[in-house]
Amino acid sequence: MKVISILLLCALSVFEKPISHYEVECGASTQWLNGKKSCSIYDESVFLTANDEPDVDPFTVFKIKLQNIGKDTIQVLPKNMYITRVYENGSLDSISICNPEIYIEKANANIAHYEREINSIIKAQNTENAAVNIARSGPWANKINTNTQSSNVVYAEKLRSAQNGLMDAKAQKQTWESQALRGNTVYPMSYIEGNVFFEANNCIKIILHVKLNDKNYNFLINKVTE
């Protein structure tokens, strides 16, 4: 039995999907902060740090911390930042990182949609119940089917679905508003930090291009398989 168990474990291990993640790479300059690999880029005006954060499906997430160490303000515009993806076959492509304002706008639209839907469901159910109560009080009540049990179940399911949708939309909005790196003006001797979101698409290397004012700062990101 012991031999069979060992063989079974070996067979299963062959089919296990390797676990991979992405992390920044800067050679001997690498730092470890709270167990996370961190890399920094700096010049006379800015000090930038990047490290990986837990993924938010379907996005790969990295935290960017920006310190203004110069004399001029720095404009942070995530919509102008992008990544270059390098694939195993040598091909590459470039895409913008996620613009948080677009996702906040989508979340707001979904919130408004589900709030309208919830109000509509409640109104329809109240109208039906009122009509049934009127029918029950009439002279032909015993000849009319006034059992609302099945329709109440349908309303309850629709209401639950809409409420779950509303909760998800609010959670998504909260994530983008509180965690994402958003457009901002960074004044001298101050800093901001936030997460950038992008789709890695199973590439083997990524170059994260952080554009600030008229300069580009590039972080190399490698796919690491465990």
Task: Sketch the domain layout of the chain as residue ranges.
Answer: 19-98+180-225, 102-177
Indicate the CATH number for domain 19-98+180-225. 2.60.40
pLDDT at res. 97: 96
Residue ranges of alpha helices (H) inside 71-181 are 100-136, 149-179
**Dihedral sign from CA coordinates of 141, 143, 148, 149:** positive
- The reported pTM is 0.77
Q: What is the pLDDT of residues 170-203, one digit of tens each?
A: 999 999 999 999 999 999 999 999 999 999 999 9
pLDDT at res. 98: 96
Decide if 159 contacts 118 (C-beta within 8 A): yes
Decide if 226 contacts 22 (C-beta within 8 A): no
- Distance in angstroms (rounded) separating the CA atoms of residues 97 and 150: 48
Q: What is the pLDDT of residues 12-23, one digit of tens each?
A: 444 455 688 999
